[in-house]
Chain A
Amino acid sequence: MTTFVIRRMLQMIPILLGATMLIFLVIKLAPGDPFSGMIDPRMDPRKIEELRQRYCLNCPLPEQYWNWLKLTLQGDLGESIRFKKPVQEMILERLGPTLTLGISAEVLVFVIGIPIGVLASTRQNSWLDSLTTIIAFAGISIPAFFFGLLLLKWFALGGVKLFPSSGFMTPGVKLAGLPLYLDVAHHLVLPALALGITGVAGLMRYVRSAMLEVLRQDYVRTARAKGLAEKVVIYKHALRNGLIPVVTILGLDLPTLVGGAIITESIFIWPGIGRLLYTSLLERDYPVLMALNLMFAFLTMVGSLLADIGYALVDPRIRYD
């Protein structure tokens, strides 16, 4: 197992390098640069040309890529052209809130999705199964944008005004320790719900179909024949195998956890990485885009490695050498 993990991690290096080259090319393919959007007549076009030269935006592409790679290998992710701030600082600032939201939403997805999926599979074709199917399809079909606004309408701005309507914490108040965590948690409820809804629905369906598959197996029939309680049969024996698709999802979802919440972040003004990615894309802020995409490429590979390790843990039949 250890050699497997080490081998995979070594393989990551050339793959990451190739990925960054491809990403760089694709980003540069988009017409424009950080200064294209500056068509304010009061901005001096001569000065803008000078700035283009300073940032080497007209240099040959290999030279630009090499400049970026050189700095990155030394641990310097560069400075944002539009924010004029070190990229590393910008990402770290937003990482906390992003992970808080992403992990909360993911936890919600699992805590709600798995039990209901299992329940639906054990009571296949009952009214409970039909209900969960309908909820699942509704959940997958509702645009996150719309659901977010609905939640705000029912629970924040109208209806039962239980939750704050935007932000990560209450403005203007300086809290620390437990009151701070409680404040953040209070602000977290609606965005996590909005973000989680599609995930819950999807996972529910995955678990249900995986469990249906597993419950048909011979060993399950044997376990029942041995006289084990139904709960033990389902949760101890069947679920472990039913969880294999779940492990896939969890592993490959890792980059989405970090950068996929852009719509939720927009509606709830959550200071996350999704918004940063979107703005940088529109403004062609190359240093930020390269750093973020490098991070996502890395997370994708780590996620897939973790999923593979997870398989081995969940299913003793799987062995790596």
Chain B
Amino acid sequence: MLMLALLVAAGCTKPKPTENNPDKPDNTQQEPAGGPVEGGTLNLSMFSAPKGVFNPILYEDQYDSNIIGLVFDGLLMNNEKLEWICNLCETYEVSADNKTVTFKLRPGLKWHDGKPVTTNDVAFTFRAMLHPDYQGVRTGDYAALVGVEEMLNARDQLTTEVEEKKITAEEAQAKKMTAWEAWLAGDGKQAINVIDDRTISFSTSVPYAPFLQQLAFSIIPAHVFEGSPIGKMGEHAATRTPIGTGPYKFVSYVTDQYVELARNEEYHLGKPYIPTVIYKIANQDVAIGQLKSGEIDFMPMRPTDVELVSSDANIKIYQRADFGYQYMGLNHDHPILKDQKVRQAMMYAINRQAMVDQLMKGFGTVMNSHMPPAIWAYDAASLNAYPYDPAKAAALLAEAGWKEKNSEGYLVKDGKVFEIVIKYPSGNKVREASAPLIQANLKEVGIKADLQMMEFATLSTTVFDERNVDAWLMGWSLSIDPDPGAIFLPNNKWGKVTGWTSARNEELIAQGTLKLKVEERKPIYVEWAKILNEELPYIFLYSQNVVDGVRADRLQGLKPDARGTLWNIWELWIPKDKQ
């Protein structure tokens, strides 16, 4: 009986009601008197173990990127407006024809092992991603460089020939190597041009706006990797124990436990005050308790966790817009969904604002097109907001011929019920919770939506490889540059899935990368976003904000903005009495 009582009591404790609950957390900090001091250990947390592939050109897992971000730097980085400014470079210059970017490296840059950083390292990094033996997935990012698109198309052709058994894999690889050597001796000299050991330039065949973003990639040390075959880079010791130029040096990774990092005393942007960083792997449910007890100083938070820490004065919440959003994809070859009025009706029928308010506790934005709020191309005012309006939805459905309802309350036309199957993946709790809400909203206007949850890889295959789907819930995680070509050009894998085509869509995407200035590109993307807003290849749902919880009594010097909460980690410090 006692045991039962204890169990029941344990389940009944509720978080305390919050008195001080700002819904717009403030982004400034009161610094304790007496400026920065050195010392202490910063305890960060992530909720899944990294794979240990701490190599920027090879990693595939986002948790590896947490460590890579601290150990490596690129030529460029973002300022608070997300514009590109110099990091490893001292200056950079875009040529008048917008096809060449020339970088001059800062003097005196050193790798964590003391060797100097030169343009040889920069050239090596990008050439490695284009090499025929390269085992990573980033080659496509550099297709704009002179001569690369042709070389990649030739490789595709060879891959197909191997599959059709016309040539062997070895023959294909030999041909790829020959083409590679030819490119290095020819176009490659122009594409990646090492002028001297501090100056390097990159050239594209046509002006390509996302180029600066691709060139901001983290640089790896040539002197470490040069001797070994590119195809075996994954097995190289330096992939596990990386050497970079970043604010923190890699010390060790205790498998599935934590990564230990030590400060880079010669960091070019300033010597970090905190000597040690322990990046712990934590359980998301336990981490809140650990943040409260001070065992960790930082954790990414779920919107529902915020109220659990809001009464604690020592914990501050920082939120920012995310570079991504969630949507319901639609198969436009489906007889019912191919009608634009039907899709528009669905946008009016689904209460997306309620999802933001209830599921995300307000930490998010309703999406009405592809550009997420964090990107400069975002222009909500120009779009139809499709506010929640079941009556309007019903009217649109009626215009599309869906007027009669059967005995269960579902719409029928020509003897067929309006029924679709929505498939969605497990793993994202907010998305999982949104599925039944969508089903209920659609039922209200007479649409029968059957839900099928499945594990992520299964859903991904079903949708993107087999196209065996009516509607599906998914999200995109995007980059700073708004170019949507990778997703919405209809000949590539992601674009093919919906079956939606629009000549104007393709025209605008092509135009958008030809100009380099933001003022010239923005109108193109605004017009493009309007097309999507009207034709609705997807039902756009919401963008959840990134929310971080930080121990404000320990971490000082924070300047959170669009770049993140800890982007200036080398400037952070811990007061003496808290070390």
| Chain A residues in the interface with B (C-beta under 8 A) | 30-33, 36-51, 53-54, 58, 79, 82-85, 93-94, 134-135, 138, 142, 149-150, 152-153, 156-158, 161, 165-169, 171-172, 266-269, 271, 275, 279, 282-284
Contacts and interface: CB of A to CB of B under 8 A. Distances in A.
Closest 6 CB pairs of A and B: A44-B140, A271-B256, A84-B234, A157-B289, A32-B457, A41-B486
A11 B196 CA distance: 69
Contacts of A165: 286, 289-290, 293, 295
A156 B487 CA distance: 47
Interface string B274-301: 0010101111011001101101000000
B289 A153 contact: yes
Nearest to B464: A39
B456 interface: yes
- The SS class assigned to the A binding surface is loop
Interface stretch (B50-58, B97-105, B385-393, B502-510): B50-58
Given A43-B137, A82-B51, A84-B58, 6 more contacts: A30-B458, A83-B51, A84-B239, A94-B255, A156-B289, A171-B280
B139 A47 contact: yes
B3 A84 contact: no
A245 B139 CA distance: 60
A32 B460 contact: yes
Interface bin, chain B: 35 or more
A138 B7 CA distance: 9
A165 B283 CA distance: 10
B307 interface: no
Given A38-B60, A135-B3, A269 B456 contact: no
A37 B456 contact: yes
Q: Which of A38, A43, A166 has the most CB of B within 10 A?
A: A166
B283 A267 contact: yes
A42 B465 contact: no
Contacts of A152: 286, 289
Contacts of B494: 39, 41, 45
A142 B7 contact: yes
Contacts of A51: 135, 137
A268 B256 CA distance: 11
B286 A166 contact: yes
Contact of B283 (A41, A48, A269): A269
Interface string B34-78: 000000010000000101110000101100000000000000000
Nearest to B153: A46
B152 interface: yes
B286 A271 contact: no
A171 B258 contact: yes
B428 to A, nearest CB: 13
Contacts of A166: 280, 282-283, 286, 290
A157 B286 CA distance: 9
B84 interface: no
Contacts of B462: 31
Given A40-B477, A45-B493, A165-B293, A31 B255 contact: no
A231 to B, nearest CB: 29
A147 to B, nearest CB: 9
26 contacts: A31-B457, A33-B461, A39-B474, A40-B477, A42-B479, A43-B137, A44-B139, A45-B140, A46-B140, A46-B155, A46-B159, A47-B140, A53-B169, A54-B135, A84-B58, A94-B255, A153-B10, A157-B286, A157-B290, A158-B289, A166-B282, A167-B280, A171-B280, A268-B283, A271-B255, A282-B456
Contacts of B465: 36
Contacts of B140: 43-47
Nearest to B172: A53
A150 B49 CA distance: 24
Contact of A43 (B52, B61, B138, B239): B138
B255 A93 contact: yes
A200 to B, nearest CB: 13
Contact of A82 (B60, B141, B276): B60
A36 B51 contact: no
Contacts of B461: 31-33, 36
B254 interface: yes
Contacts of A94: 255-256
A269 B7 contact: no
B455 interface: yes
B27 interface: no
B150 interface: no
Contacts of B159: 46, 49-50, 53
Nearest to A272: B256
A279 B281 CA distance: 15
B156 interface: yes
Nearest to A58: B163
Nearest to B496: A45
Contacts of A40: 477
Nearest to B288: A157
Nearest to A45: B493
B41 A42 contact: no
B420 interface: no
Contacts of A135: 3
A149 B292 CA distance: 15
A87 B556 CA distance: 42
Contact of B141 (A42, A153, A267, A284): A42
B257 interface: yes
Contacts of B155: 46, 50
Interface string B440-463: 000000000000000111101110
A244 B71 CA distance: 57
A44 B141 contact: yes
A39 B41 CA distance: 36
A46 B137 CA distance: 9
Contact of A267 (B240, B256, B286): B286
A282 B457 contact: yes
A42 B136 CA distance: 12
A152 B156 CA distance: 54
Contacts of B49: 275, 279
